[in-house]
Structure 1
């Protein structure tokens, strides 16, 4: 496993991030434990979760599954860089009361305590804000974070789904307080969705944040979806099916799969490997439902994409271009 440094921290993390969103709703506890065992054995040491993950199995269930894995072998905790997120309402069956969601100092404190209990740990290595809270000033957010760092309950703070200007705002506010600020950003980034290249990734690079793309396979669109459909495999549903129903989108996906057939490479592995070639990217988040899916994702680490293939991918999925040049008429 190749390791890199997470932003401006001293944390060394693998080039893939184990996302745990499926633990609970789609993957039972025993299989989730097996996936984490396989990941750690392969050297994948950066685990990402969120307090709201679990959903149909119950909010917080995913964190509980990770906590039970730590409890089985406490030595695992010090081998893992553990990241979780907060923002959403954690009430199970009722609307949120005021201050039971978003980024108020009160909810940050409440959310940290809940996550620590479910995860069965005394600290969170990277504590992430799941979304922007336009109603809470960063001065208040950083005051709450500073207290938690002083208490040893979190080590670093990160963001998720932040636009470039909010990354700048957050870190300029932190700098005035003499704090490190955000050390990572989770953004929606894949071959289909490249808008992060305009502002988010340049802002992250400017402020020294690690970039952790989510949905690297575009909701399954980049994982060989047409090939699987033809072979009689699992059919796409939801938004993926809607995209496939659009003739223009389907033509792009078909061109993508044809290009990869020409080069003899797997679609899902290629989509991950492409992200690993992108400037500023620490590692994409993978969300395996089975140990076999994890093993397939790990193969992307050894896949080298030639210039001809990269040029072909850019032709099918052109990026927005750098700012400010891309804004010119």
Structure 2
């Protein structure tokens, strides 16, 4: 396991993050205590130090397990948790991004974790109602109080994050150092705005659902019916023919190099510009062990190109327009080839 600096900070995190939405069987499909403990210990033995949970996960059981597991070696671990979404406490102010919910959610998380501080506190999802200034000042207060050391943001439009970090920098408040997004070969739309924004602001990126809800494992390509959340024809996100064709490319490359499709999909993310960190979460120890084995190899440029072509998206306006030959020649006086535009 190698380590990365998370965004514009000195915080050192492992190149894989352990997702713990499956810690606890409260939702009917996660891992019970013993299985969760084995997965945690295996991740630790591999050199992992970055662990992701949320107050919402498995009705708080995930935070309880994480807190107990990291307690004996607290200083080693970078513990990240989230606030924003409904944890079933009721009331209009028990959800959202505002100061009241942030404060009460953090206090509750600290009790469940049984820790004195959180390393990284994520805003879980943007609510489109709380002023950006309120969010950033409230985060800064928590950092100054020592209840969290760093802050991050998840599932939020790029323009809001840009506004938030610009305000924080101008006012001397704590900026976001982390961005959490859905990103995989199946979901490359963050390449339009979120990823360029993260590079511009030096925000570290973690990717949830790196296997595309299981599509990239190839299990939906098999002739026999599979037990997966997308196998239900009434699923809100049914598997498409394009996704099956993409998954087959992943399967083919995995077969050629005697690896698993999931490992190929994870390495595609790991080898993208900017040092994106996949969040690996599993229901069983065996699945986690298989995912960790992605650290043993890298994809060749030719393999990356095949995957890029199979999963390519249109960037849309204004990106495609600005990259067109007409605009590029007009913007740079016809000397594109001679102009060094690196910074």
Report how far residue 322 of structure 1 moved: 9.2
Name 1:69's counterpart in structure 2: 69
Mapping of residues 71-110 of structure 1, within 5 Å: 74-91=71-88, 96-110=90-104
Q: What SS is found at the alignment partner of 2:291?
A: helix
- Quote the RMSD (CA, aligned, Å): 2.1
Q: Find 2:33's aligned residue among 13, 29, 32.
A: 29
Q: What SS is found at the alignment partner of 2:93?
A: coil
Report how far residue 98 of structure 1 moved: 2.2
Confirm or deny: 8 A CA contact 2:192 2:319 kept in the other structure. Answer: no
Q: Find 2:206's aligned residue among 207, 212, 216.
A: 212
- Greater Cα radius of gyration, structure 1 or 2: 2
Q: Deviations over 1:263-311 (max 9, x none)?
A: 4332100000000111123311000222222221111112211122111
Confirm or deny: 8 A CA contact 1:263 1:309 kept in the other structure. Answer: no
Gaps of 5+ in 2: 325-343
Flag the structure with more relative contact order, 1 or 2, with Cα contacts below 8 A and sequence separation at least 6: 1
TM value normalised by structure 2: 0.86
Name 2:160's counterpart in structure 1: 166
Say if 1:245 and 1:150 are closer, same or farther in 2 by CA, change over 3 A: closer
1:235 aligns with 2:239: no
Aligned residues: 317
Report how far residue 262 of structure 1 moved: 3.4
Say if 1:188 and 1:245 are closer, same or farther in 2 by CA, change over 3 A: closer
Report how far residue 251 of structure 1 moved: 3.2
CA distance in 1, matches of 2:108, 2:277: 27
Say if 1:239 and 1:154 are closer, same or farther in 2 by CA, change over 3 A: farther
1:51 aligns with 2:55: yes
Say if 1:318 and 1:246 are closer, same or farther in 2 by CA, change over 3 A: closer
Moved over 6 A (4+): none
Gaps of 5+ in 1: none
1:155 aligns with 2:149: yes
CA distance in 2, matches of 1:109, 1:302: 42
Confirm or deny: 8 A CA contact 1:89 1:100 kept in the other structure. Answer: yes
Report how far residue 134 of structure 1 moved: 1.4
TM value normalised by structure 1: 0.90
Say if 1:255 and 1:277 are closer, same or farther in 2 by CA, change over 3 A: closer
